[in-house]
Amino acid sequence: MYLYNSATHKKEEFKTHTPGRVEMYTCGPTVYHFAHIGNLRSYIMEDVLEKYLRAAGYTVNRVMNITDVGHLASDADTGEDKMLKGAKREHKSVMEIAQFYTDAFFEDCRKLNIKRPDVVQPATGCIAEYIEIISKLVSTGCAYLAGGNVYFDTSKLERYYIFNDHDEDDLAVGVREGVEEDTNKRSKNDFVLWFTRSKFEDQALKWDSPWGVGYPGWHIECSGISMKYNGEYLDLHCGGVDNAFPHHTNEIAQSESYLGHAWCPQWFHVHHLNTPEGKMSKSKGEFLTVSLLEKNGYDPIAYRYFCLQSHYRKALVFTWENLDNAAAAYGKLLNRIAALQPGGDADPTVFEEYKTKFLQQMGNDLNTSMGITAVFDALKAKTNDATKLAIIGEFDKVLSLSLLEKAAQLREKAAQAVQSGASDYVITGEGDPEIDALVLQRYEAKKAKNFAEADRIRDVLKAKGIELTDVKGGASWKRL
């Protein structure tokens, strides 16, 4: 596979430290509120990446943190604690908030066919690991104490800006968001490894440490959790593009200073979901959640389809109209798959040929829109329906668009409509009203014993490239 690597700014051949095995880490959600669909775009694309790697034959160990402590309103360690903010808003304890929004996050994931990572670790569960890393960083002079907090000393690094395709304005997160400057820092890029109670008197979760009672900074949790479950050599680190700085930059700084060797060579960043007004956020405009999509009548998988239509390294613009278009295209695709007749044997040669091509196309920097095109190509393949269904089922192990399940539901619904007498003639096809009308006219002609007219319509359909199959209680058609 070839994957764009944000650390080198190039598309490169994907490699792993141990052949055949991928140690993969994903930055998880901060569980103080619902995830918006922009956050979920990242998790969808990372899910496709994981499933692609598995389909390509790798064993994958995927680890994700849940941030339930230490993430302040600004990524540059200033402002209010996000978890405290959530707890105050809802008059609940921090742990209640964490549990509620963790469950809500995985419920959204389930609706979007996002697989749960192999390891999911709340940040509050690895305090001993962070203390061990921070202790070593302090003892080796990579970190210092100031004003009760422990800071990482970025001046000790040979190179700090790993993802330096940002401009300086973007980098100055704290300044941009107009939050207070932390005067304890020796230089502006230094970041907090451990807060003591000097920061927030009302901090709910506190632990004893060599530097006083307090709590870990946000960045240290991903290094600690990854090293615990992925080991010292991480192959692939994923996250949204806004995590690249300062979060991922700081993860690299502290991990490599602690380990004394290179930590993670490959970085996968998913770009923003925007609204026409700009970057999507929880506080601006409509708060777009999976529940809102459902409330407005959309199948969450149509949103997944919408995301897959576009490349993960391009900003994607969300409008209800764009989602409508994706939902219509998705519905049409399902109808075409429903028109295939299950049963019979698949042709293994054709199956392998299509699978190989699919892996090649998707393997070009996770080209998901080519993955969807591949499903349409399979529908047009010169082979039997059993083979087409087998190919589509195989592709969907990676795309996870519930293609076979939902097509089967459509067939079932059509059969039930006939049985219940709700309809005495059911047409399954590609959802084209013009063709459906002709198919129905032919049926009416046959019922009226006007066989010449029925044959004529059949010829018209044939001339349009339509293959018509009479099935029990109706007809099924497809384009050749």
In the bound state with Zn ion, the residue whose beta carbon lies nearer, of 137 and 222, is 222
In the bound state with Zn ion, the residue whose beta carbon lies nearer, of 67 and 310, is 67
The Cα angle at residue 266 between residues 261 and 271, in degrees rounded to 5: 135
What are the DSSP E strand ranges found in 95-178? Answer: 119-122, 143-146, 149-152
Pairing mode, if any, of strands 78-81 and 119-122? unpaired
Supply the minimum distance, in Å, between the C-beta of residue 361 and Zn ion.
Answer: 30
Using CB under 5 A, list all residues that contact Zn ion.
Answer: 27, 222
Supply the minimum distance, in Å, between the C-beta of residue 242 and Zn ion.
Answer: 12
Alpha-carbon distance of 132 to 255, in angstroms, equals 12
| Residue 128 CB partners (closer than 8 Å, separation 6+) | none
Q: Are 108 and 158 in contact (CB under 8 A)?
A: no
Residue 329's SS3 state is helix
Alpha-carbon distance of 473 to 118, in angstroms, equals 46
In the bound state with Zn ion, the residue whose beta carbon lies nearer, of 222 and 338, is 222
In the bound state with Zn ion, the residue whose beta carbon lies nearer, of 27 and 83, is 27
In the bound state with Zn ion, the residue whose beta carbon lies nearer, of 229 and 477, is 229
Supply the minimum distance, in Å, between the C-beta of residue 222 and Zn ion.
Answer: 3
Q: Which helix (H) or strand (E) holds 72?
A: strand 72-74
Supply the minimum distance, in Å, between the C-beta of residue 85 and Zn ion.
Answer: 19
239 bridge partner residues: 269
In the bound state with Zn ion, the residue whose beta carbon lies nearer, of 65 and 335, is 65
- Both tokens of 213, joined, read 């009672």
40 exposure class (CB count in 10 Å sphere: 0-12, 13-18, 19+): buried
Alpha carbon 256 to its chain's center: 27
Supply the minimum distance, in Å, between the C-beta of residue 239 and Zn ion.
Answer: 6
In the bound state with Zn ion, the residue whose beta carbon lies nearer, of 222 and 378, is 222
